[in-house]
Amino acid sequence: MLTEAVAGYVALRRAAGFSFNTQAAQLKSFAAFSEAKGEHRVRAQIAIKWAGLAPSVPQRARRLGVVIRFSRHLHAEDERHEIPPSFFGAERRPRRVPYILSQEQVAQLVDAASRAGYRTLRRATYSTLFALLACTGLRVSEATRLRLQDITPDGLLIRRSKFRKSRLVPLHQSARAGLDLYLEQRFPYAPEDDHVFVSLRRKPLLLGDVASAFRVAACAIGLPDRPRARPTPHSLRHTFAVRALQTCPDGRDAITEHMMALSTYLGHANVTSTYWYLEAVPELLVDIAERCERFMMGGQG
């Protein structure tokens, strides 16, 4: 029965560390749809019909992609399960090239945030938040969910973030000093809330509020505001990752170790997410091209 197969597959994926909530609901829906038609194994035609119920082509592609991965899992043990083709095209659009900030722009953003709006805690909150994102590479959601007890002598404890992983992010002395200075101002303002960053409502920061504050600071220093070519709060994380790659030592073994360390530090589930940053700036692509050329000419890569 497909329903039992779905339950086993969902349990397996969750045991591997994935939350798998949306996919689980979709697979349960697909199993019910198939069994209502008298099918107890994956059939490509039925899978395409089920995925086609979604209102848009991208949604159909993503729904079918979930079934394709499920069918591959089942097909490995029972070849009677059919593996549907990617009838609706690719599940994901190519990732947009990240907007990388210069060191000067990062400093200007932090300074602009410290002067934006009224003379309230808001200025200290966003200037400190942006500085922390820039020097640690945290995801915005990870920073806004930080609790006071997550600040440890060894660094910031990021609890069960994306992919349900936890990790420890070390803090430079200057970053810790800046965070301590902010907390001195923040404690009297919202003593009953244990989030590190709080809004003027004495509540945890909302991602939309962070995006708005960042946009105000970015406009203040003259950064572009075009839909597909503008920085976002996540640009601070992207910039951190790229600068870390630019400091990578020479040597194949050293590069491999550096990439794995950076991938773990950033909380990536797959190292390919870290390699994506190699496309981010021309300097990195030039370095790659030069090393490939040396390798092809018989030198060391």
Catalytic residue among 63, 145, 237, 238: 237
Rounded Cα distance between 196 and 81, Å, is 50
pLDDT of 282: 60
Given a cut of 90, is residue 152 above it in pLDDT? Answer: yes
Six-digit token pair at 293?
């050329």
pLDDT of residue 5: 95
Q: Which of 282 and 180 is assigned the larger pLDDT?
A: 180
Mean of the per-residue pLDDT values of the chain: 86
Q: What is the mean pLDDT of residues 63-71?
A: 96
**pLDDT value at position 69?**
95
Please tell me the least confidently modeled range out of 137-141, 205-209, 280-284. Answer: 280-284
Q: CA–CA separation, 59 vs 76, rounded Å?
A: 26
- Looking at the predicted structure, is the pLDDT value of residue 254 above 70? no
- Residue 193 is predicted with a pLDDT of 92
DSSP 147: B
The confidence score (pLDDT) of residue 285 equals 57
Helix (H) or strand (E) holding 15: helix 2-15
Length of the chain counted residue by residue: 301
Give the pLDDT mean for 251-278: 68
Q: What is the pLDDT of residue 246?
A: 76
Question: In the chain, what's the furthest Cα-to-Cα distance?
Answer: 68
Could you confirm whether 162 is annotated as catalytic?
A: yes
268 is catalytic: yes
**Percent of the chain, pLDDT > 90?**
61
Q: pLDDT class for 9, splitting at 50, 70, 90?
A: very high
> What is the spatial distance between Cα 243 and Cα 230, in angstroms, rounded to a whole number?
19
- pTM as predicted: 0.68
* Greater pLDDT, 297 or 79: 79
Query: Considering the domain 103-230, what is its CATH architecture?
Result: Orthogonal Bundle (1.10)
Out of 84-93, 148-157, 239-248, 280-289, least confident range:
280-289
Whether residue 301 is predicted with pLDDT greater than 60 in this model: the reply is: no
pLDDT > 90? residue 62: yes
Q: How far apart are CA 28 and CA 30, in angstroms?
A: 5
| Backbone phi and psi for residue 14, each to the nearest 5 degrees, phi listed first | -70, -35
258 among known catalytic residues: no
104-119 confidence digits (pLDDT tens): 999 999 999 999 877 7
Residue 162 has pLDDT above 70, yes or no: no
Q: Which of 169, 126, 147 is nearest to 267 (CA)?
A: 169
- In the set 63, 81, 122, 139, the catalytic residue is 139
Model pLDDT, residue 107? 96
Domain boundaries, the chain: 2-75, 103-230, 237-296
Where is average pLDDT lowest: 48-62, 83-97, 131-145, 264-278?
Answer: 264-278
Rounded Cα distance, 297 and 301, in Å: 10
Active-site entry in 41, 159, 234, 243: 234
- Looking at residue 244, its pLDDT comes to 82
Catalytic annotation on 172? Answer: no
75 is catalytic: no
pLDDT digits (tens, 9 = 90+) for 213-242: 999 999 999 998 876 778 999 999 988 888
Q: Can you give the pLDDT at residue 79?
A: 94
Which is the catalytic residue, given 9, 99, 126, 277? 277
Percent of the chain exceeding pLDDT 70 equals 83
**Residue 118 among the catalytic residues:** no
Q: Which of 37, 80, 115, 162 is catalytic?
A: 162
